[in-house]
Amino acid sequence: MRLLIFLAALTTCLARDIPSNLQRFYDTVKNAGPCTGDNLLQDGFFDQDDSTNEWSYCDRNFTGRGLYIKGPGTDLANMDIDCDGDQQNADPRCLGSSDTQPATAFRRQVQQLSNITDLNASIHPYVVLGNVGHVTFDPRDHGIEPLSVVAVVCGGQLIYGIWGDINGNDRMPLVGEASLALATACFGDSMTGSNGHDEPDVLYLAFAGPNAVPRTANWAARSYEEFEASITALGDALVARI
Ligand SMILES: *[C@@H]1O[C@H](CO)[C@@H](O)[C@H](O)[C@H]1NC(C)=O
Ligand SMILES: *[C@@H]1O[C@H](CO)[C@@H](O)[C@H](O)[C@H]1NC(C)=O
Ligand SMILES: *[C@@H]1O[C@H](CO)[C@@H](O)[C@H](O)[C@H]1NC(C)=O
């Protein structure tokens, strides 16, 4: 029981309140309709299998630049669950997922920064950005580096993730996906490989430039909490520039 209370307290303090500048950005972007003109990087993406293809990757003209995902009207993006990565002793909540890959896109980069072999969807709060297949969008073309910090506004809180995987476009080019660890931090234990968060109210904001990569993060962390604590200072510094 004491351990549970301790864990609950730890989770609460890692779930950060949304700073006012980020809340302003969230509200402005949400209410601005689809992104257009200079803000539009690429359109034609789906939020889920039965949505329209009105989702886009958009640019944000703030110091350092970055990108975010936006749909039509007041829609941001949903959160599907990704369990890709090291599958040894995979989380039972991942077993329902039929499209799990044994490796994430930046396995090599992870190995260069750490002594682990790949990201672990149960530990690392990673975001899936970019698409490969018949529709291609590479955030690297817009200055976003692999494994860099992504601010995620979900369930009324701010969670820092990292760009850890790319969407494979099995049937259609989808956006709005994150690791089980990130989804759990956002929405709790009901998240599983086959049950994500359907409401398109999540902001994914990726930061450009080499300084957004948390090189000294605790990659070998044994829990989400440990890893998250190691990227929070960098996340706060990036969000402060919005
Ligand atoms: C981007 O920001 C810079 C500096 O704040 C400003 O001078 C420029 O006009 C902005 N560009 C667009 C397209 O908003
Ligand atoms: C991934 O993390 C989970 C949760 O801590 C753990 O049970 C599992 O063994 C880890 N997988 C690998 C390959 O380390
Ligand atoms: C990997 O590095 C971490 C420190 O970053 C260390 O605690 C851990 O024991 C190392 N694991 C292995 C298998 O070498």
Average pLDDT over the chain reads: 89
Please write the tens of the pLDDT for every residue from 152-195.
Answer: 999 999 999 999 999 987 779 999 999 999 999 999 999 988 88
Could you give the CA distance from residue 176 to residue 70 in angstroms, rounded to a whole number?
10
Q: Whose CA is nearest to atom 4 of ligand 3?
A: 220
pTM for this entry: 0.88
**Cβ–Cβ < 8 Å for 115, 153:** no
Most informative mutation of 28, 61, 62 for ligand 1 (most atoms within 8 A of CB): 61
Handedness of CA 121, 223, 164, 120 (dihedral sign): negative
220 Cβ below 6 A of ligand 3: yes
Q: Which atom of ligand 3 is nearest to the CA of 116?
A: 1
pLDDT band, very low/low/confident/very high, at 85 (cuts 50, 70, 90): confident
Band (pLDDT 50/70/90 cuts) for residue 80 is very high
Give CA angle at 178 (173, 184), nearest 5°: 145
The ligand that comes nearest to the alpha carbon of residue 64 is 1
Q: What is the pLDDT of residue 101?
A: 74
Question: pLDDT by residue (tens digit) across 112-142?
Answer: 999 999 999 999 999 999 999 989 999 999 9
Predicted confidence (pLDDT) at residue 2 exceeds the cutoff of 60 = no
For residue 195, which amino acid is it?
N
Q: Is the pLDDT of residue 39 over 90?
A: no
What Cα–Cα distance (Å) separates residue 17 from each residue in 155, 160, 225? 11, 12, 16
Predicted local confidence at residue 70, as pLDDT: 97
CA distance 224 to 14: 10
Q: Alpha-carbon distance 65 to 4, whole Å?
A: 40
Location of structure tokens 């476009």: 169
Judged on CB neighbours under 10 Å (0-12, 13-18, 19+), 48 is middle
Report pLDDT for 96.
62
* Dist. CA 213–CA 140, nearest whole Å: 13
